[in-house]
Every structure is written in C-alpha cells, then in structure tokens.
C-alpha cells in the first residue's frame, strides 16, 4: 500500500510476523527501559543526488551494513528520544514532537548530516504509532519511548560528510528509566573528564557525547555514586549536566521557591523536558530562570539551607531527585536527601499533562489519528 503525502511518499509493508497478543502483553507487564521493541520501524534514505526518498514502514529487523560504512568509523550520527502516551480519554498522544524535530535538525546540522523536514519526522512517528499503537503501554510510569536516529551509511573510509544517510525510527515500550523508579540519586562531580568544550558537539544529541561519558560514569560508580555530574571543561567549576540529563536547582521553599537551571552556553544539551519544566514552574507561580551555579555555591547553599532541592530532568526519567553529592573535595546531602516537594509537584504536573489527566495549555500533545 502506498500513500501520497505532501512531502514524501511512504510505502507501508506490514510484517507477517507480528508478536502474538499474549506474548506482547507479557512483555508490556514489565518492559524495563529500551529492551522491548514494536513490530515495525520506519526507514527513510537520503543521498546527495535525490535528497530524502524511499520512505517505508517495514517489519522491525536487524540491519545489514557493509563493514566500511562511515558511521562505524567516524560516528556521524544523531538521535532523538521522545515519548508517546496512552491518553486517559482514549487514543495516543506524542509529547512535543515539533520541539524534538527541531532539535533533530539542529543536531544534524552540527554533524554535517542532512536535515529531515519536521513534517516528515512527525509523519514517521504518526505512521509507526498507527501501525503499532497496541504496543503503547498504559500503566503509570510506562510510555512508548520513540527513538528516531540517522547515520552516515556511505561505504568508504575517507573522512568527509557521508553522501548517503539512513534515517530510522524505532519504538520501545518502556517503564522507568532508572530501576526502582523515582528515588534520589547520589552524584559524582567529575573533575578528571569533560563532556563538552566550547565549539564542540555538546549541544547536539549525538552518540559520541554519550560514548565519551561512559568512563566518567564508571568512575562515578567506583565512587559509590549513581550518576556523573559534568562541569565546565575549562575551570571544572560551573555545573553543566548530569549524565544524559539537565539539572535544576531549587532555592527557598513554598510559594517563594525559585528554580534555576544552568543556561545553554553551547556545551549543554537543550532538553525538551528542561524547557517544559521552566514553563510549568512559571505556570505554578514559581520564579524560574536560567543561570549559573558553581560547585562551591552548590555545597554552601546546601549547608546554609538556601538551596533546598536539586533534580535532574530528561525525557526518559522525567525528574530524578539528586539526594547527595560527592567529589574529590568532600561530600554533602541535598536537603534531607529525600525527593523534594517542588521536584515531585513539577513531576506530577508534567506527567498529568502527558497522560491527558490535566489540561494542556501550551498545546504540547500531538494526537495520533488512529
Ligand atoms: C533522556 O533523558 O531522555 C535522555 O536523553 C537519556 C537517553 C539517552 C536514554
């Protein structure tokens, strides 16, 4: 079956090997994160001569790649992570696919990859959710984690932008990102490693940023910590991110609480959850701003009680409280080490919008026509 669209013609080749419903239900009972995949995927090819072409919905299957394909050597690749939710009133909605499509384009530009039009990015999601909608789980903390990505697929070892690119979209019904759900993490302030430097790829969602972080994450684990916190690469003093998530600091409490998240200096990932929470915090009457915080200010703020809560935020885990901090120069607790009231209130507000349990005043939900 082929369907004409304004941008690109998608071909739908449904698989004959769908997972039997009983087996699907068994997997959805406890999917974990990023381990279970739906029956189909979307693939779109690009080359220099034809631009984007061959848009296809097809059965989820391993790829066959030439060993000399450029991404395996020079890592020219970008990805996104966004979620679809089963709605309280029925149907499926995707959270802010336009914001993710825009970031996907910016990441692609930084990696010298072609930009996928936003309408095609959203159509790919609509088509996958239409054919695999029954895979979207409904339990609290569960969602369909969508992973669009593209990579240089030209065969050749020359270092240059690939003249062939493959876009894929896969869907992974998922539960909590961190095993055990929402519980405070202990973080390690990394002074030996840097995630990103000015002029680098820190603002792009590209696998290399994550690969470069794994050793620091292992060092954090050796120190008995759950996650690494990245500091600026020049002074190792200014707080940037936690692992693959943005950070947010809460000063004061009650109605007078003020939120601050490190500003997007070019070395941080512009998180969609980060942006959504800045907006939601203001909706709830809190002051919320972008700023700068040093590790000394983090420590002294916790000691004198002015800094009351710290949380990490990202699509996968939504909000994760930071309960304790360790560094080569000392350790301290954030508040009483338990999830803070404001962190949990913001988390609940966001999740209620995502699931259709609360109004969506900013038009963040994109409904999939099933
Ligand atoms: C997210 O918080 O959504 C992330 O980016 C983490 C992801 C790489 C699993």
pLDDT by residue for the chain (370 residues), tens only, comes to 444 444 699 999 999 999 999 999 999 999 999 999 999 999 999 999 999 999 999 999 999 999 999 999 999 999 999 999 999 999 999 999 999 999 999 999 999 999 999 999 999 999 999 999 999 999 999 999 999 999 999 999 999 999 999 999 999 999 988 877 789 999 999 999 999 999 999 999 999 999 999 999 999 999 999 999 999 999 999 999 999 999 999 999 998 999 999 999 999 999 999 999 999 999 999 999 999 999 999 999 999 999 999 999 999 999 999 999 999 999 999 999 999 999 999 999 999 999 999 999 999 999 998 7
C-beta 202 within 6 A of ligand 1: no
* CB of 319 sitting under 6 A from ligand 1: no
Distance of CA 165 from the midpoint of ligand 1 (Å): 23
* Domains of the chain, first to last: 11-175 (3.30.470.10), 185-352 (3.20.10.10)
Spell out where the chain has E strands.
2-3, 10-12, 40-47, 51-59, 77-79, 82-86, 92-95, 143-152, 164-174, 185-189, 227-231, 239-242, 245-251, 258-262, 287-291, 307-314, 318-327, 330-333, 365-368
- Residue 314 near ligand 1, beta carbon < 6 Å: yes
State if residue 318 touches ligand 1 by the CB under 6 angstroms criterion: no
- What token pair was written down for 171? 């869907």
Q: Are 311 and 249 in contact (CB under 8 A)?
A: no
Cα of 292 to ligand 1 centre, how many Å?
Answer: 23
- Verify whether ligand 1 is closer than 6 Å to residue 184 (CB atom): no
* Cα dist from 178 to 34, 69, 174, 297, 318, whole Å: 11, 33, 11, 28, 10
As a whole number of angstroms, the distance between CA 99 and CA 204 comes to 14
Residue located nearest, by CA, to atom 8 of ligand 1: 244
Judge if the beta carbon of residue 243 lies within 6 A of ligand 1. no
Using the atom order of ligand 1, give the atom closest to the CA of residue 34.
9
């Amino acid at each position: 079956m082929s369907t004409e669209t304004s941008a690109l013609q998608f071909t739908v080749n449904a698989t004959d090997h769908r997972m039997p419903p009983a087996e699907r239900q068994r997997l959805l009972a406890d999917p974990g994160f990023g381990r279970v995949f739906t029956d189909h995927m979307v693939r779109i090819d690009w080359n220099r001569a034809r631009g984007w072409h061959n848009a296809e919905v097809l059965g989820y299957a391993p790829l066959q790649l030439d060993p000399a394909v450029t991404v395996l050597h020079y890592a020219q690749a970008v990805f996104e992570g966004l979620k679809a939710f089963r709605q309280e009133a029925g149907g499926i909605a995707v959270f802010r696919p336009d914001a993710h499509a825009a970031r996907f384009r910016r990441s692609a530009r930084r990696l010298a990859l072609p930009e996928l039009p936003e309408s095609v990015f959203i159509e790919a999601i609509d088509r996958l959710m239409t054919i695999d909608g029954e895979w979207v789980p409904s339990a609290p903390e569960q969602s369909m984690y969508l992973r669009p990505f593209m990579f240089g697929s030209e065969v050749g070892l020359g270092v240059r932008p690939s003249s062939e690119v493959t876009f894929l979209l896969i869907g992974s019904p998922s539960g909590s990102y961190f095993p055990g759900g929402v519980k405070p993490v202990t973080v390690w302030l990394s002074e030996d490693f840097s995630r990103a430097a000015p002029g680098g790829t820190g603002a792009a969602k590209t696998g290399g940023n994550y690969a470069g972080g794994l050793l620091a994450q292992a060092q954090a684990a050796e120190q008995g910590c759950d996650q690494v916190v990245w500091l600026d690469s020049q002074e190792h003093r200014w707080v940037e991110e936690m692992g693959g998530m943005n950070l947010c600091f809460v000063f004061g409490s009650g109605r007078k609480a003020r939120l601050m998240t490190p500003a997007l200096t070019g070395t941080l990932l512009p998180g969609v959850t980060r942006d959504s929470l800045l907006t939601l915090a203001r909706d709830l009457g809190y002051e919320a701003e972008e700023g700068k915080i040093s590790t000394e200010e983090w420590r002294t703020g916790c000691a004198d009680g002015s800094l009351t809560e710290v949380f990490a935020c990202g699509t996968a885990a939504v909000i994760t409280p930071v309960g304790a901090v360790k560094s080569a120069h000392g350790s301290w607790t954030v508040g009483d080490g338990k999830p803070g009231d404001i962190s949990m209130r913001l988390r609940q507000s966001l999740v209620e919008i995502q699931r259709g349990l609360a109004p969506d005043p900013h038009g963040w939900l994109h409904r999939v026509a099933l």
